[in-house]
Amino acid sequence: MKSTRRSFLKGVSAGIVCLTLGQLGFDLGDAHAYAGKLKIEGAKEVISVCPFCSVCCQIIAYVRDGRLVATEGDPDFPVNEGALCAKGAALFTMYTSRHRLEKPLYRAPFSNHWVEKDWEWTLNEIARRVKDARDQDMILKNAKGQTVNRLESIFAMGTSHASNEECAVIHQAMRGLGVVHMDHQARV
């Protein structure tokens, strides 16, 4: 079997270097204590993909007790071979950003602030608006009398952030509603 960089590094960390240094008479007490506190110790490795450009570098997310503790490039993935750019390397900080939205928010007409809402209320309100617009504006026939079954007063934009499965869900839902104004970043 071909030795990969990763299997080599695993071999190294298994003690070859430490043994050599130990034999040379270094006191390894501090180093062992540090290694014992490595932030990824006991963490589960989860394979993810960097969410920025389409190189789609693979990432290993280290998770302990349901919390993300570190991220790094996947050294086995043949495209990035463990490397990440500045953005990919900052993925962990992105997760911990205090600017994240965590609850549905609502801004009423002419209001100057957001109000927190629950998901059920929010989805019910949106569904009502979609249905009202659709019931009023659905175009069944065009000027020539051809059947067109389309809805022009609602649009959907985005997104290339979505997974393939999410894209499939979005496309199917929108065509089901009759939406024709659909677009995303491929055309920006």
Partner 1 sequence: MTNHWIDIKNSDAVLIIGSNAAEHHPVAFKWIMQAKDNGATLMHVDPKFSRTSARCDFHVPLRSGTDIPFLGGMLNYILENELYFKDYVANYTNAAFVVGKDYDFKDGLFSGYDPATRKYDKSKWAMETGPDGGPVIDPTLQNERCVINLMRRHYSRYTLTNVSDVTGISEENLLKVYEIFCATGKPDKAGTILYALGWTQHTVGVQNIRTSALIQLLLGNIGVAGGGINALRGEPNVQGSTDHALLYHILPGYNAMPSAPWQTLAQYRKANTPATTLKNSVNWWSNRPKYVVSLLKGWFGDEATQENDFCYELLPKIEPGEDYSYMYVMDKMYHGKIRGGFIFGVNPMNSFSNTNKMRAALDKLDWLVCSELHNSETTDNWKRPGVDPKTKKTEVFLLPSAHRIEKEGTISNSGRWLQWFDQAVQPAGEARNFADIYVPLFNTIRALYKAEGGAFPEPILKMHWTDKFVADEWVRRINGFFWADSKVGGKTYKRGQLVPTFGALKDDGSTSSLNWIYTGSYTEEEGNKSKRRNSSQTPMQAAIGLYPNWSWCWPVNRRILYNRASVDLNGKPFNPKKAVIAWENGKWAGDVPDGPWPPMADRENGKLPFIMMKDGHGNFYGPGPADGPFPEHYEPAETPLARHPFSSQISSPVYKYHTSDMDQIAAPADPRYPYVLTTYSLTEHWCGGGETRNVPNLLETEPQLYVEMSHQLAGEKGITNGDGVIVESPRGRVEAIAMVTVRIRPFTIMGKTVHLVGMPFAYGWTTPKCGDSTNRLTVGAYDPNTTIPESKACCVNLYKADKLTEIG
Subset of residues 87 to 146 that bind partner 1, contact rule: CB under 8 A: 87-88, 90-91, 93-95, 97, 99-112, 114, 119, 122-131, 133-138, 140, 142, 144, 146
- The least CB distance from residue 3 to partner 1, in Å, is 12
Two structure tokens written together for 58: 């693979």
Q: Return the number of other C-beta atoms located less than 10 Å from residue 80's C-beta.
A: 20
Asked if 158 is part of the footprint of partner 1 (rule: CB under 8 A), the reply reads yes
Side chain identity, residue 75: P
Asked if 9 is part of the footprint of partner 1 (rule: CB under 8 A), the reply reads no
Binding to partner 1, residues 31-70 (CB under 8 A)? 46-59, 61, 63, 66-68
Provide the pairing of β-strand 44-49 with 58-64.
antiparallel
- Point out which span in 5-13, 18-26, 34-42, 149-157 binds partner 1 (CB under 8 A): 149-157
Geometric angle at alpha carbon 48, from 168 and 76, rounded to 5° = 125
- The least CB distance from residue 13 to partner 1, in Å, is 21
Closest CA to 186 of 164, 169, 161, 166: 161
